[in-house]
Structures are given as structure tokens and as C-alpha cells.
């Protein structure tokens, strides 16, 4: 009797466990198909039936080849090969079709498991709809492309406005000089004038080159590039800055993005904020690298202001860096941009002077 009760209890427990695991299986957010070693669908969770718009019984009769959109990569064939050769894992991205009409991009993960029930090999095929991810990637790429286009326009305007004027002036002097006698005193004056203009042009080229791509940044040294920028700036503006004692280890692309953000922030503070002081703090905290840019100017409403290239570029670069940031501006208090790099590992202490200027 005791044995009978025990068997009854065990089977009841088993049933409860089955129901428990089935409810987990059906509440998983990603679509799961269970395949046998012939690559046939033998089970599917509720998300899979919803995503593929087929009842469970219809899904069971569906060959995998009919849900994969066939392209040059032939992923369905590769997945079936992985099953045939009993591979432990397989991953691919492919378009999946629903009723051969609707289709979506998906990330597909195949994992082998051995059933404790019959000791046979089965495969879990996880399908994630990645449409939103793809849309975001395309949006991000478009933002970067348009930001690049705007920067090209700005460069062309800079070249035209600065160098263009100087070269035109020299051209005019040279044309006049061509009609002069070299013994005339005005000839010497014109040469002196051309020399002054050309010196100014050389300075402009060097400034333009620095603004385009400082040498130090080209070598991957963001801190030196910022320092150069601050030194130039502090000759004409009140700047507070504090640099850390370590190297910033970010990809060159992100260093350039950060430099451009800092450049634009400073340029906006000078042009629009009427501030007394600009602050640039770079610190390493327990949570990672923090870059704080601040002005104590008149502030503006970020939501309602008519954005120019500058704010648009700052935002698209922040998106491209994919990091946490806070951009706050308060009327009569100023504007602040805080950028955080949580995965920054600045263990290297390459002795740099910590500095400040005010
Ligand atoms: N630090 C700031 N303090 C006050 N107002 C600001 C500040 N930064 C931006 N603004 C306001 O936001 C507007 C948009 O700035 P944005 O940098 O996008 O364009 P812009 O500086 O006018 O032109 P550009 O395309 O040359 O950068 C500015 O015209 C200004 O009114
Ligand atoms: Mg601007």
C-alpha cells in the first residue's frame, strides 16, 4: 500500500513538473522550435506559433526549407548540415517567411541537447525577430552619413570664408604688381602686404588642419588633443580643466567622435552662451570614465530650440559611440553634457600631469 501511494505521489509530482516546465516553455518570449535529428519540427512554443502564424499541427508538417528565405549564404542548408553532423551549436541571421508573404530578419540559434527521456539527440532552434534592431542600425547609419555630409559642407564653407579671402587678396596684389615697375616704392609695399597675408593664410591652414584632425588625435592620443584645444582656448577664454593621470583607451573612431563633441560643445558655449567659464573634467570613477563639459551661460531649451548642425552632430555622435549621456541646459544657469563610459578599463597609469587652469 505504502509503495502504491509512493508511486502515485511520484507520478503526480512528475505531472506537476511537466506542467511547470511546459508553462515556462510556452511563456518564453523568443520563438522556440524543437527539431529531431532529421531536422523535422516536433514541437514549438506558443511564441513560435504566433510568430510564424501557424497552428502547432501545421508547424509540425512544415519543412524548415519553407520558412527560410533562400539567399546566397544558403543558411537553411548549413543548419540542416549542422543537425546531420550533430554539431553542438550553429548560429546564423536569415530572413524568415510567414506564409510565404510576410518576411522578417531573424537571428537563429541552434543548440543540440540529449534527451534524458530516450537518450536521442534533439535540437533547440531559437528564432529572434531582429527587425527593430535592423531598423535602428539603419537609422544610426543614416544619421552618421548625414552628419558626415554636413561636416563636409562646413569644411567647404570654412575653406571658402577663410583661405578663399586671403588667396583672392594676394591674387589682386599680384595683378597690380604685374603692371608696376619693381623699382617703385609701392612695389615693395605690395610685396610686404602679400607676405603678411600669406603668413595669415599659413596660420589659418594650420588652425583648419587642427580643427579637422589634430596630429595627436591622429596618433590616438585624445587627451593631448583636448589639452591642445584647451591651451588655445584658454588664451582667449576662462577655462577650467582637470585631466586624469591615465590614457583614454577608446577606439580611434570613438576618440575622434569624443573630440568633435567637445569641440562643438566649446564652440557653442563661446558662440551662444555668454558664459564666464567653460569647464572640462575627465575623471575615472568606480563606474568608469566620466567626461563633463559645462558652461555657466544663459542656457537654452534643448527640446524646443531650432537645432543647427552642431547639436545634431553631437547627438548623432553620441548615438554612434553608444554610451550613456546626459545633456542638460537650464535657463540662466548654463549647459552641461556628461558622457559616461561604463566599460572603460583605464588600469594603465601612464604618468600624465594633472592640471587645472582658471
Ligand atoms: N551652450 C549653449 N548656450 C546657449 N545656447 C546654446 C548653447 N548651445 C547651443 N545653443 C543654442 O542652440 C542652437 C543650436 O545650436 P547648434 O550648435 O545646433 O547650431 P549653431 O551653433 O547655431 O550652428 P552650427 O551648425 O554652426 O553649430 C544655437 O543657435 C543656440 O541658440
Ligand atoms: Mg553650434
- The residues spanned by each domain of the chain are 2-129, 131-212, 215-358
Angle between helices 165-178 and 185-212 (to 10 degrees): 160
For domain 2-129, give the CATH number.
Answer: 3.30.450.20
Q: If you measure from the C-alpha of residue 305 to the centroid of ligand 2, how many angstroms do you get, rounded to a whole number?
A: 12
From 272, 297, 306, 337, give the residue whose CB has the most ligand 1 atoms within 8 Å, as the site to mutate: 272
| Distance, CA of 121 to CA of 320 (rounded, Å) | 43
Atom of ligand 1 nearest to the CA of 297: 3
Nearest residue (by CA) to ligand 1, atom 27, is 310
Q: If you measure from the C-alpha of residue 306 to the centroid of ligand 1, how many angstroms do you get, rounded to a whole number?
A: 8
pTM of the predicted model, to two decimals?
0.57
Nearest residue (by CA) to ligand 1, atom 14, is 307
User: 150-153 long-range contacts, Cβ below 8 Å, gap at least 24?
Assistant: 150/309, 150/312, 150/313, 151/309, 151/313
Tell me yes or no: is domain 215-358 CATH 3.30.565.10.
yes
Q: If you measure from the C-alpha of residue 333 to the centroid of ligand 2, how many angstroms do you get, rounded to a whole number?
A: 19
The answer to whether 2-129 and 215-358 have equal CATH topology is no
Q: If you measure from the C-alpha of residue 139 to the centroid of ligand 1, how many angstroms do you get, rounded to a whole number?
A: 23
Atom of ligand 1 nearest to the CA of 334: 3
Q: If you measure from the C-alpha of residue 158 to the centroid of ligand 2, how many angstroms do you get, rounded to a whole number?
A: 14
Question: What's the chain's Rg over C-alpha atoms?
Answer: 33
Which regions in the chain score pLDDT beneath 50? 1-7, 9, 344-358
Q: What is the pLDDT of residues 119-154, one digit of tens each?
A: 999 999 999 999 999 888 888 777 777 777 777 887
**What pLDDT score does 325 carry?**
92
**Residue 274: left if φ>0, alpha if ψ -120 to 50, beta else—which one?**
left
| Distance, CA of 83 to CA of 81 (rounded, Å) | 5
Name every protein residue with a CB atom under 6 angstroms from any ligand 1 atom.
268-269, 271-273, 295, 297-300, 305, 307-312, 335
**What pLDDT score does 159 carry?**
82
**What pLDDT score does 50 carry?**
93
Q: If you measure from the C-alpha of residue 273 to the centroid of ligand 1, how many angstroms do you get, rounded to a whole number?
A: 9
From 295, 308, 336, give the residue whose CB has the most ligand 1 atoms within 8 Å, as the site to mutate: 308
Non-local CB neighbours of 207 within 8 Å, separated by 6+ positions: none
| Distance, CA of 223 to CA of 302 (rounded, Å) | 28
**What pLDDT score does 220 carry?**
80
Atom of ligand 1 nearest to the CA of 335: 1
Q: What is the pLDDT of residues 84-112, one digit of tens each?
A: 999 999 999 999 998 777 889 999 999 99
Nearest residue (by CA) to ligand 1, atom 25, is 309
Q: If you measure from the C-alpha of residue 214 to the centroid of ligand 2, how many angstroms do you get, rounded to a whole number?
A: 20
Amino acid at each position: 500500500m505504502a509503495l502504491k501511494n509512493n508511486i502515485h505521489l511520484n507520478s503526480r509530482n512528475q505531472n506537476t513538473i511537466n506542467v511547470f516546465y511546459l508553462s515556462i516553455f510556452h511563456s518564453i518570449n523568443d520563438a522556440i522550435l524543437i527539431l529531431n535529428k532529421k531536422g523535422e519540427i516536433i514541437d514549438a512554443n506558443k511564441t513560435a506559433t504566433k510568430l510564424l502564424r501557424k497552428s502547432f499541427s501545421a508547424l509540425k508538417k512544415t519543412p524548415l526549407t519553407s520558412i527560410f528565405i533562400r539567399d546566397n549564404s544558403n543558411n537553411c542548408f548549413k543548419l540542416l548540415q549542422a543537425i546531420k553532423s550533430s554539431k553542438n551549436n550553429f548560429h546564423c541571421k536569415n530572413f524568415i517567411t510567414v506564409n510565404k508573404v510576410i518576411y522578417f530578419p531573424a537571428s537563429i540559434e541552434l543548440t543540440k541537447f540529449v534527451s534524458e527521456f530516450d537518450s536521442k539527440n534533439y535540437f533547440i532552434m531559437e528564432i529572434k525577430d531582429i527587425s527593430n534592431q535592423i531598423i535602428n542600425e539603419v537609422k544610426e547609419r543614416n544619421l552618421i552619413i548625414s552628419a558626415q555630409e554636413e561636416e563636409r559642407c562646413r569644411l567647404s564653407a570654412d575653406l571658402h570664408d577663410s583661405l578663399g579671402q586671403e588667396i583672392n587678396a594676394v591674387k589682386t596684389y599680384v595683378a597690380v604688381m604685374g603692371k608696376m615697375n619693381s623699382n617703385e616704392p609701392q612695389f615693395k609695399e605690395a610685396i610686404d602686404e602679400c607676405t603678411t597675408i600669406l603668413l595669415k593664410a599659413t596660420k589659418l591652414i594650420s588652425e583648419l588642419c587642427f580643427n579637422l584632425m589634430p596630429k595627436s588625435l591622429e596618433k590616438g592620443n585624445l587627451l593631448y588633443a583636448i589639452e591642445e584645444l584647451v591651451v588655445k582656448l584658454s588664451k582667449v577664454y576662462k577655462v577650467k580643466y582637470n585631466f586624469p593621470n591615465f590614457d583614454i583607451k577608446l577606439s580611434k573612431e570613438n576618440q575622434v567622435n569624443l573630440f568633435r563633441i567637445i569641440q562643438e560643445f566649446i564652440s557653442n558655449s563661446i558662440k551662444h552662451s555668454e558664459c564666464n567659464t567653460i569647464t572640462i573634467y575627465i575623471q575615472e570613477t568606480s563606474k568608469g570614465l566620466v567626461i563633463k563639459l559645462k558652461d555657466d551661460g544663459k542656457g537654452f531649451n534643448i527640446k524646443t530650440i531650432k537645432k543647427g548642425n552642431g547639436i545634431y552632430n553631437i547627438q548623432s555622435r553620441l548615438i554612434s559611440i553608444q554610451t550613456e549621456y546626459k545633456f542638460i541646459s537650464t535657463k540662466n544657469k548654463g549647459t552641461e553634457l556628461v558622457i559616461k563610459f561604463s566599460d572603460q578599463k583605464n588600469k594603465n597609469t601612464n604618468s600624465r600631469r594633472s592640471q587645472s587652469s582658471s
